[in-house]
Protein backbone atom coordinates (compact mmCIF):
# COMPACT_ATOMS: atom_id res chain seq x y z
CA UNK A 1 0.00 0.00 0.00
CA UNK A 2 1.08 3.55 -0.56
CA UNK A 3 0.25 6.23 1.91
CA UNK A 4 0.59 9.85 2.80
CA UNK A 5 1.95 10.17 6.32
CA UNK A 6 1.35 13.35 8.32
CA UNK A 7 3.91 13.64 11.13
CA UNK A 8 2.74 16.22 13.65
CA UNK A 9 4.56 17.66 16.66
CA UNK A 10 5.10 20.91 18.52
CA UNK A 11 8.09 23.11 17.76
CA UNK A 12 11.42 21.76 18.91
CA UNK A 13 10.22 18.16 18.98
CA UNK A 14 12.46 16.86 16.18
CA UNK A 15 10.36 16.85 13.01
CA UNK A 16 13.19 18.06 10.78
CA UNK A 17 15.68 15.75 12.50
CA UNK A 18 13.27 12.87 11.95
CA UNK A 19 13.06 13.67 8.23
CA UNK A 20 16.83 13.99 7.81
CA UNK A 21 17.38 10.71 9.66
CA UNK A 22 14.69 8.97 7.59
CA UNK A 23 16.27 10.25 4.37
CA UNK A 24 19.79 9.35 5.45
CA UNK A 25 18.83 5.90 6.75
CA UNK A 26 17.00 5.01 3.57
CA UNK A 27 19.79 6.28 1.30
CA UNK A 28 22.61 4.59 3.20
CA UNK A 29 21.32 1.51 4.94
CA UNK A 30 18.16 0.08 3.43
CA UNK A 31 17.66 -1.77 0.18
CA UNK A 32 16.90 1.01 -2.23
CA UNK A 33 13.77 -0.20 -3.99
CA UNK A 34 12.64 3.42 -4.46
CA UNK A 35 14.28 6.79 -4.91
CA UNK A 36 13.87 9.24 -2.05
CA UNK A 37 13.68 13.04 -2.16
CA UNK A 38 13.60 15.51 0.74
CA UNK A 39 12.37 19.09 0.35
CA UNK A 40 11.67 21.77 2.95
CA UNK A 41 8.53 23.79 2.37
CA UNK A 42 9.63 27.10 0.94
CA UNK A 43 8.82 29.30 -2.01
CA UNK A 44 10.35 26.81 -4.49
CA UNK A 45 8.96 23.48 -3.30
CA UNK A 46 6.29 23.27 -6.01
CA UNK A 47 8.85 23.77 -8.75
CA UNK A 48 11.09 21.07 -7.26
CA UNK A 49 8.17 18.61 -7.17
CA UNK A 50 7.20 19.46 -10.75
CA UNK A 51 10.75 18.70 -11.95
CA UNK A 52 10.20 15.04 -11.07
CA UNK A 53 8.81 13.15 -14.09
CA UNK A 54 5.54 11.22 -13.88
CA UNK A 55 7.40 7.95 -14.34
CA UNK A 56 9.91 8.76 -11.59
CA UNK A 57 7.11 9.76 -9.18
CA UNK A 58 5.80 6.18 -9.07
CA UNK A 59 9.21 5.05 -7.81
CA UNK A 60 9.89 7.94 -5.40
CA UNK A 61 9.34 8.43 -1.69
CA UNK A 62 8.72 12.15 -1.16
CA UNK A 63 9.59 13.81 2.16
CA UNK A 64 8.18 17.33 2.67
CA UNK A 65 9.26 19.13 5.82
CA UNK A 66 7.42 21.99 7.52
CA UNK A 67 3.96 22.43 5.98
CA UNK A 68 3.26 25.06 8.65
CA UNK A 69 6.13 27.16 7.22
CA UNK A 70 4.80 27.11 3.67
CA UNK A 71 3.79 30.67 2.64
CA UNK A 72 0.76 29.43 0.68
CA UNK A 73 -0.41 27.19 3.52
CA UNK A 74 -0.18 30.05 5.99
CA UNK A 75 -2.37 32.27 3.79
CA UNK A 76 -4.91 29.68 2.62
CA UNK A 77 -4.45 26.42 4.52
CA UNK A 78 -7.36 24.37 3.16
CA UNK A 79 -6.76 25.34 -0.45
CA UNK A 80 -3.02 24.72 -0.15
CA UNK A 81 -3.45 21.30 1.43
CA UNK A 82 -5.93 20.26 -1.29
CA UNK A 83 -3.61 21.51 -4.07
CA UNK A 84 -0.62 19.86 -2.44
CA UNK A 85 -2.34 16.49 -2.16
CA UNK A 86 -3.29 16.68 -5.82
CA UNK A 87 0.33 17.43 -6.71
CA UNK A 88 1.77 14.50 -4.69
CA UNK A 89 -0.88 11.88 -5.47
CA UNK A 90 1.31 9.90 -7.89
CA UNK A 91 4.32 9.44 -5.62
CA UNK A 92 4.98 6.04 -4.09
CA UNK A 93 4.85 7.31 -0.51
CA UNK A 94 4.70 10.83 0.89
CA UNK A 95 5.71 12.00 4.38
CA UNK A 96 4.76 15.54 5.43
CA UNK A 97 5.77 17.16 8.71
CA UNK A 98 3.84 19.97 10.34
CA UNK A 99 3.41 21.63 13.71
CA UNK A 100 0.41 20.30 15.56
CA UNK A 101 -0.95 23.83 16.07
CA UNK A 102 -1.26 24.39 12.30
CA UNK A 103 -4.59 22.55 12.41
CA UNK A 104 -7.02 24.39 14.68
CA UNK A 105 -8.98 21.24 15.52
CA UNK A 106 -8.38 17.49 15.27
CA UNK A 107 -11.12 17.34 12.62
CA UNK A 108 -9.09 19.72 10.41
CA UNK A 109 -6.29 17.18 9.99
CA UNK A 110 -6.83 15.49 6.59
CA UNK A 111 -7.65 11.78 6.83
CA UNK A 112 -8.01 10.83 3.15
CA UNK A 113 -6.98 12.29 -0.15
CA UNK A 114 -9.82 13.98 -2.02
CA UNK A 115 -11.03 11.85 -4.94
CA UNK A 116 -10.37 14.68 -7.39
CA UNK A 117 -6.66 14.43 -6.57
CA UNK A 118 -6.32 10.77 -7.52
CA UNK A 119 -6.05 9.20 -10.94
CA UNK A 120 -8.87 6.82 -11.85
CA UNK A 121 -6.65 3.73 -11.89
CA UNK A 122 -5.49 4.04 -8.28
CA UNK A 123 -7.17 2.92 -5.12
CA UNK A 124 -7.91 5.70 -2.62
CA UNK A 125 -4.86 6.62 -0.57
CA UNK A 126 -5.10 6.93 3.15
CA UNK A 127 -3.52 9.66 5.18
CA UNK A 128 -1.93 8.21 8.28
CA UNK A 129 -1.30 10.69 11.09
CA UNK A 130 1.52 10.11 13.55
CA UNK A 131 2.64 12.31 16.45
CA UNK A 132 6.08 12.88 17.89
CA UNK A 133 5.46 12.96 21.62
CA UNK A 134 7.39 14.86 24.28
CA UNK A 135 10.14 12.94 26.03
CA UNK A 136 9.17 11.13 29.21
CA UNK A 137 11.14 11.62 32.45
CA UNK A 138 12.90 8.25 32.14
CA UNK A 139 13.96 9.05 28.56
CA UNK A 140 15.35 12.41 29.69
CA UNK A 141 17.34 10.72 32.47
CA UNK A 142 18.79 8.16 30.03
CA UNK A 143 19.86 11.01 27.75
CA UNK A 144 21.51 12.86 30.64
CA UNK A 145 23.30 9.73 31.90
CA UNK A 146 24.74 9.12 28.43
CA UNK A 147 25.77 12.74 28.05
CA UNK A 148 27.31 13.36 31.48
CA UNK A 149 27.75 10.02 33.24
CA UNK A 150 25.63 8.79 36.13
CA UNK A 151 27.89 10.03 38.94
CA UNK A 152 28.90 13.44 37.60
CA UNK A 153 28.03 16.73 39.26
CA UNK A 154 26.59 17.98 35.96
CA UNK A 155 24.20 15.02 35.86
CA UNK A 156 22.93 15.80 39.38
CA UNK A 157 22.57 19.51 38.54
CA UNK A 158 20.60 18.61 35.42
CA UNK A 159 18.31 16.31 37.43
CA UNK A 160 17.47 19.22 39.72
CA UNK A 161 16.85 21.45 36.71
CA UNK A 162 14.51 19.00 34.98
CA UNK A 163 12.46 18.60 38.15
CA UNK A 164 11.78 22.33 38.09
CA UNK A 165 11.23 22.65 34.30
CA UNK A 166 9.69 19.30 33.31
CA UNK A 167 7.65 20.56 30.39
CA UNK A 168 10.45 22.66 28.95
CA UNK A 169 13.05 19.90 28.80
CA UNK A 170 10.62 17.38 27.31
CA UNK A 171 11.49 18.91 23.92
CA UNK A 172 14.59 17.31 22.40
CA UNK A 173 15.83 20.61 20.97
CA UNK A 174 15.74 22.30 24.38
CA UNK A 175 17.25 19.26 26.09
CA UNK A 176 20.21 19.33 23.71
CA UNK A 177 21.08 22.77 25.17
CA UNK A 178 20.69 21.79 28.80
CA UNK A 179 24.39 22.53 29.48
CA UNK A 180 23.72 26.19 28.79
CA UNK A 181 20.45 26.27 30.69
CA UNK A 182 21.88 24.77 33.88
Pairwise CA distance, residues 26 & 175, whole Å: 27
Residue 81 has pLDDT above 70, yes or no: yes
Contact between residue 98 and residue 68 where contact means Cβ atoms under 8 Å apart: yes
What pLDDT does residue 1 have?
Answer: 52
Confidence of residue 114 (pLDDT cuts 50, 70, 90): low
pTM for the predicted model, two decimal places: 0.83
Residue 18 has pLDDT above 60, yes or no: yes
Instruction: Quote the Cα angle for 98-176-25, to 5°.
Output: 60
Pairwise CA distance, residues 123 & 101, whole Å: 30
Pairwise CA distance, residues 177 & 96, whole Å: 27
Pairwise CA distance, residues 61 & 67, whole Å: 17
Amino acid sequence: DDYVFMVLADSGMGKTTFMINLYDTYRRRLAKKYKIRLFPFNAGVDEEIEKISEEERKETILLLDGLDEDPQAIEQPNERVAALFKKVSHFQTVVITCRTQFFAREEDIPSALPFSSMSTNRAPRRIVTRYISPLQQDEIKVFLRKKFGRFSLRYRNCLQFIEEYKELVARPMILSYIDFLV
